[in-house]
Amino acid sequence: MLGTLVVAWICIFLLFLFIRIRKPKNFPPGPQPLPVFGNLLHLDIANPLKDFKRFAERYGKLYGLFWGSKPAVVLNGFEVMKEALLTKAVDFSGRPQDFMINHITENKGVIFADYGPGWKEHRRFALMTLRNFGLGKQTMEERILGEISHIVACLEENAGRTVSPQTWFHNAASNVISLVLFGSRFDYSDEFLTRYVQLSTAISKIINGPWNMIYDTVPALRCIPLPFRKGFKVVEEIKNMTLTLINKHKKTRVPGEPRDFIDCYLDELDKRSNDGSTFDESRLIMYILDLHFAGTDTTSNTLLTAFLYLMNHPEVQARCQQEIDEVLEGKDQASYEDRHNMPYTHAVIHEVQRVAHTVPLSVFHCTTKDTELMGYNIPKGTLVIPNLTSVLNEEGQWKFPHEFNPANFLNDEGQFEKPEAFMPFSTGPRVCLGEGLARMELFLVMVTLLRQFQFVWPEDAGEPDYTPVFGVTQTPKPYRMHIILREPGK
């Protein structure tokens, strides 16, 4: 019996010795990985941000982990982020290609596609199309302001009441990007919009949850019918809904006279039908899902964060309203150009983005070749995790790194000034495609609503909890707000 146990332990030891993970030569320091699991068991898979901070304090601002058997490096702090994503941008601009999100999106679209000619071609097309449809121009302002009028109507109906704002901001952000993609908006009670948002929320929860991390780190479990399988079913339904919209466009479009993003892509397909390009209909479907998800979740969650802080910092809200009233006196509505005359309000909007760190770990990158970073060797194919939270809270980069204070974006003369470490949209070639649209939306929504309403933290709500719910996109915990109709200037 004893001999059998000894032999068994020897076999287990040899097995672990055989499958143990070997760190690459001169790899950044980090916790010792376990066979198969890597450093998964060292992390709180529901929210690893505290663990990432703890590792940075112990191993430095660049440290190594193993995502299962995959080597990974975590970038912390502005200097490390700048060297990797800007100075050595090409080396660090790949995307990992064996994660659940890649399998769900079939490595198509534009956000999760790997770095290469196809990605460059589609990113260039997206930027050009967004610009042609008014990004940064008055036409886009008009679309956003038109959507804001529907939020205003909802708020006016509920003036004097205490309500939950969660769905309003989500539906509004969804409609703004829908106008660009589909050429139309949806009524907030529309069945299509309701279902589309439900499915987007469902896939967001799966991607943000622990089952996603388990899928990514332990490939052997992928064949087992665990909860992550639901993600594939959800995306299949969204794809079918999107295909329905594409087919409607095919029946009504006039080639060469595009009404929206889908028409532009279909025109491009006509031009490139025989040139062997990467443009195809299946990629269009994932392209739309990418842009709709990115354009909805980040903006709506940032707006939810904004009003949570404004209600609990009434002096900040009042000062914004005073500035807004003065600048917009005699005007029917705000313009994006007004931001240049509203330094305090502009600073508040940026401070909201800083404290929200809505996309805390950006979107994971991957090295495209063997490279070096901060004196360490980083092999080709290494997973790269940009910890944006570490930059947005970094001491030495901000006057008040650990508190909500618009002075972080104001100089001594009270004028708006943006520090270089402000990178909620990441930086480099993979910077968020919709950054310009998001900035315009945030400014116009906040200025319009603050001009017409006062937002008050309900007396029976207790102390506010600013701790966000962790995920690929973080969101504040659900809250309620009391709405008071105000008269500008009073």
490 residues of the chain, pLDDT tens digit each: 544 544 444 444 444 544 567 889 999 999 999 888 899 889 988 889 999 999 999 999 999 999 888 999 999 999 999 999 999 999 999 999 888 888 888 878 788 888 888 888 888 988 888 888 766 566 889 999 999 999 999 999 999 999 999 888 988 999 999 988 998 888 988 898 889 888 887 887 777 777 787 888 888 888 888 788 888 899 899 999 999 999 999 999 999 999 889 999 999 888 876 666 788 888 899 889 888 888 888 999 999 999 999 999 999 999 999 999 999 999 999 999 999 999 999 999 999 999 999 999 998 999 999 999 999 999 999 999 999 999 999 999 999 999 999 999 999 999 999 999 999 999 999 998 888 889 999 999 999 999 999 999 999 999 999 999 888 888 999 999 999 999 765 5
What is the pairing mode between strands 371-373 and 376-378? antiparallel
pLDDT at 11: 46
pLDDT at 218: 81
Q: How far from 486 is each of 159, 254, 321, 483, CA to CA, in Å?
A: 10, 46, 10, 9
Sequence length of the chain is 490
Please write down the HEC assignment for all residues of the chain: CHHHHHHHHHHHHHHHHHHCCCCCCCCCCCCCCECCCECHHHCCCCCCHHHHHHHHHHHCCEEEEEECCEEEEEECCHHHHHHHHHHCCCCCCECCCCCHHHHHHCCCCCCCCCCCHHHHHHHHHHHHHHHHCCCCCHHHHHHHHHHHHHHHHHHHHCCCCEECCHHHHHHHHHHHHHHHHCCCCCCCCCHHHHHHHHHHHHHHHHHHCHHHHHHHHCHHHCCCCCCCHHHHHHHHHHHHHHHHHHHHHHHHCCCCCCCCHHHHHHHHHHHCCCCCCCCCHHHHHHHHHHHHHHHHHHHHHHHHHHHHHHHHCHHHHHHHHHHHHHHCCCCCCCCHHHHHHCHHHHHHHHHHHHHHCCCCCCCCEECCCCEEECCEEECCCCEEEECHHHHHCCECCECCCCCCCHHHHECCCCCECCCCCCCCCCCHHHCCCCHHHHHHHHHHHHHHHHHHEEEECCHHHCCCCCCCECCCCCECCCCCEEEEECCCCC
Residue 385's φ and ψ, nearest 5 degrees, are -110, 105
User: CA-CA distance, 286 to 455, in Å (whole number)?
Assistant: 38
Residue 263 CB-half CA count within 13 A: 18
CA angle 457, 405, 439 (to 5 degrees): 85
pLDDT at 274: 66
Where in the chain are the domains?
A: 13-485
* Structure token digits, residue 477: 């915990």
User: CA-CA distance, 324 to 464, in Å (whole number)?
Assistant: 26
List residues bridging with 482 in a β-sheet: 162, 456
Residue 86 CB-half CA count within 13 A: 11
User: CA-CA distance, 134 to 141, in Å (whole number)?
Assistant: 8
pLDDT at 7: 44
| The one-letter amino acid at 143 | R
CA neighbor of 388 nearest in space, from 416, 419, 351, 363? 363
Residue 252's φ and ψ, nearest 5 degrees, are -115, -10
pLDDT at 110: 82
pLDDT at 10: 45
Q: What is the CATH number of domain 13-485?
A: 1.10.630.10
| pTM of the predicted structure, to 2 decimals | 0.91
User: CA-CA distance, 8 to 408, in Å (whole number)?
Assistant: 61
3-state secondary structure of 157: helix
Q: Are 104 and 111 in contact (CB under 8 A)?
A: no
Instruction: Say how many Å lie between the first and final Cα of the chain, rounded.
Output: 88
Tell me how crowded residue 232 is: count the other CB atoms within 10 A of its CB. 13
List residues bridging with 12 in a β-sheet: none
CA neighbor of 319 nearest in space, from 352, 345, 347? 345
CA 277 remoteness from chain centre: 29
What is the pairing mode between strands 383-386 and 70-75? parallel
CA angle 277, 279, 283 (to 5 degrees): 140
pLDDT at 305: 97
